Amino acid sequence: MITLMGTIPMGFISVSGNPPLQKEVDVLIVGGGTSGTMAGIQAARMGATTLITEETQWLGGMLSSAGVSAIDGNHRLPSGLWAEFREKLFDYYGGPDSVNTGWVSHVLFEPSVGAKILKELANDEQYLEVRYLTRPQKIDKIHNGWNVIFTSEKDTFRVTATVLIDGTELGDVARMAGVPYETGMDSRNVTGEAIAPAEANDIIQDLTYVAILKDYGKDADKTIPMPENYDPTPFICTCDNDRCTTKGSGQKLWDCNFMMQYGRLPGKKFMINWPINGNDFYANTIDLPEEERKAAYEKAKWHTLCYIYFLQTELGFKNFGIACDEFPSDDGFPLIPYHRESRRIRGIVQFTLNDMAKPFDQPTFLYKTGIAVGDYPVDHHHAAYHDQSQIPDIHFHPVPSYCVPLGTLIPQGHDNLIVTDKSISVTNIVNGSTRLQPVCMLTGQAAGVLAALSSQKKVTPAEISVREVQKKLIEAKAYIQPYSDVPPGQPYWEAVQRIGATGIIKGEGRNEGWANLTRFHPDSLMVSAALLDGINELIPPFSYSFRNEFVSFEEAMEISKILAAHFQKSTPGVKDIKPDLYMTGTGINYTIPPDAYVTRYQMAQILD
């Protein structure tokens, strides 16, 4: 469903007049969520004066404020700021095993610890300022950027910025700026996605008001008062128990004790974010006025309270009580609900399931513009929606690991605005994977790079070279291609990332159960036909007569010289090179006879 927007969204106060200018910055990020926080850190590290404004007391969004502190995906893709955040968690808790506490994820942590780490990371950046409990009220486009009026608990103030980034949970800034967007499910006739519904609709994914429970000991009784209008019926078959009469119906029911370990966090705490007859809740709040949004969130919180009461009284977990030491809230609940879906802007490009599933077969070659990577399945939560007949079968649709194209962050026709988090230009189907925490962290980091370059070069984000953004990301040890078998510790990692983005050497993507992989096969020999196909895709027509099935070192050097001449660039290590020695730019030397075959990673280094 396509929605067009004016300048002031429902639920926001219209502010007349211009309050005093309080700050002028290169980059302004409204929303210190998962993406917004990383965008701010990255932009500041590149020397851009940066301000993050956040409505709550915490940075992190779903990572912290929403309580979804079990990281889904990217375990094999330790990229950029996601890898840095994970390493901080390892340091805090005592290593990788100390956060591998639940079976839903390899990395679980207390939300308060995540918030603490993010605050420390932000505080370390001299060019970054964060203002909490602050909301945007009016946004105006000016000649060289944006003028934004904010209100906080103390005052109303104005900020001007060269580049504005939307890091909000629901894309509210994009709406305020008048960016066209879409909500709900797309029609397969528009996106070309076979598993999408025939007709578009306004159904979004369930949201969840997560709870963090704590085990207070086997003799403790932490049972909450019975919630008003409590009904256990929706929760009866949340796990395998005597009261559930639908066993054998095809739905997987886990052992109840095992189910509770799903989101077990360090510190004897448990994340309650259970989709099977649990605390998922349907409410499309995206375009609701603010008061109606709040009312829907209260219903979602009530639903979770009912589920907690069910766990305590029906399943015997009375010793599991709300962890009142976790969130700075009066009731011990997270600061915000967990939104799986928001507005999706119309960007320079739209990333579809076809682009994700078969990147090398698409005429647009969007994988060449990759700026963030992901490997989680297409995971949609729709069990709480009242009419299941309208929901297509998209549960855990298999995909390989993938990269998100840069153009998804840039709205059409809106200069100096970048949109990130769950509001990037993807289809409803694809959002089921790109919504996950690591991907949002990495699209946020890319947004920070793009914003910093834009402000420094005094051009719009759309005018920045994709390769410039990718170069900065690689320098920050962030993947631009999802090759999990070539980690950053390898000396040829950068070459594989760069040459992978040209498409000259392609990897192999596949789904293996829960593992979604794209392999580069670095130690395999370089196949002549594959190399020829890759070059022809880049500069057709290209002909070269290889002597054998595999590429020899001498042939690899000849190919490299031809390409260097074609692009009219002086390539260190190619001109006047000795035929039996290749010295890479990383200082690694190896001697190869001219007729010896080269591996795929060696070919990548030579081409690089």
Rounded alpha-carbon distances, angstroms, from residue 59 to 140, 166, 517: 25, 14, 31
* Nearest C-alpha neighbor of 220 from the set 332, 316, 304, 324: 316
pLDDT of residue 581: 37
**Can you tell me the mean pLDDT for 543-569?**
91
Do 68 and 34 contact (CB within 8 A), yes or no?
Answer: no
Selected residue with higher pLDDT from 595 and 395: 595
pLDDT of residue 398: 83
pLDDT of residue 140: 96
Distance CA 532, CA 461 (A): 34
Model confidence pLDDT, tens digit, residues 175-232? 999 999 999 999 999 999 999 999 999 999 999 999 999 999 999 999 999 999 999 9
Which amino acid makes up residue 284?
N
Residue 580: pLDDT band by 50, 70, 90 thresholds?
A: very low
Q: Which two tokens stand for residue 207?
A: 């949201």
Q: What is the pTM of this model?
A: 0.94
Q: If you search the block for the tokens 């219903």, which residue do you land on? A: 299
Rounded alpha-carbon distances, angstroms, from residue 32 to 371, 476, 520: 20, 21, 35
* Bridging pattern class, strands 344-345 and 280-281: unpaired
Residue 11: pLDDT band by 50, 70, 90 thresholds?
A: very low
Of the candidate ranges 243-247, 370-374, 483-487, the one whose mean pLDDT is the lowest? 243-247
Query: Element (H or E) spanning 156, and its range?
Result: strand 156-166
Selected residue with higher pLDDT from 20 and 490: 490
pLDDT of residue 304: 98
Whether residue 583 has pLDDT greater than 70: no
Q: How far apart are the first and last CA of the chain?
A: 44
Do 442 and 82 contact (CB within 8 A), yes or no?
Answer: yes
**Can you tell me the mean pLDDT for 441-466?**
98
Distance CA 439, CA 125 (A): 22
pLDDT of residue 60: 98
pLDDT of residue 248: 55
Q: Is the dihedral of CA 160, 166, 170, 175 positive or negative?
A: positive
Model confidence pLDDT, tens digit, residues 120-135? 999 999 999 999 999 9
Average pLDDT of the chain, as a whole number: 92
* Nearest C-alpha neighbor of 546 from the set 595, 503, 504, 607: 595
Residue 13: pLDDT band by 50, 70, 90 thresholds?
A: very low
Percent of the chain having pLDDT more than 90? 86
**Can you tell me the mean pLDDT for 139-154?**
94
* Residues ≥6 apart with Cβ < 8 Å to 526: 505, 550, 551, 556, 597, 598, 599, 600, 602, 603
pLDDT of residue 12: 39
Main-chain phi, psi angles of 527, to 5 degrees: -80, 130
Percent of the chain having pLDDT more than 70? 93
Model confidence pLDDT, tens digit, residues 334-379? 999 999 999 999 999 999 999 999 999 999 999 999 999 999 999 9
Whether residue 15 has pLDDT greater than 60: no
Q: Is the dihedral of CA 593, 598, 602, 607 positive or negative?
A: positive
Whether residue 166 has pLDDT greater than 90: yes
Residue 249: pLDDT band by 50, 70, 90 thresholds?
A: low
Whether residue 3 has pLDDT greater than 80: no
Whether residue 107 has pLDDT greater than 80: yes
Distance CA 526, CA 236 (A): 57
* Nearest C-alpha neighbor of 204 from the set 283, 300, 293: 283
Model confidence pLDDT, tens digit, residues 270-292? 999 999 999 999 999 999 999 99
pLDDT of residue 250: 62
pLDDT of residue 515: 77
pLDDT of residue 590: 65
pLDDT of residue 577: 39
* Residues ≥6 apart with Cβ < 8 Å to 105: 70, 71, 72, 263
Do 480 and 497 contact (CB within 8 A), yes or no?
Answer: yes
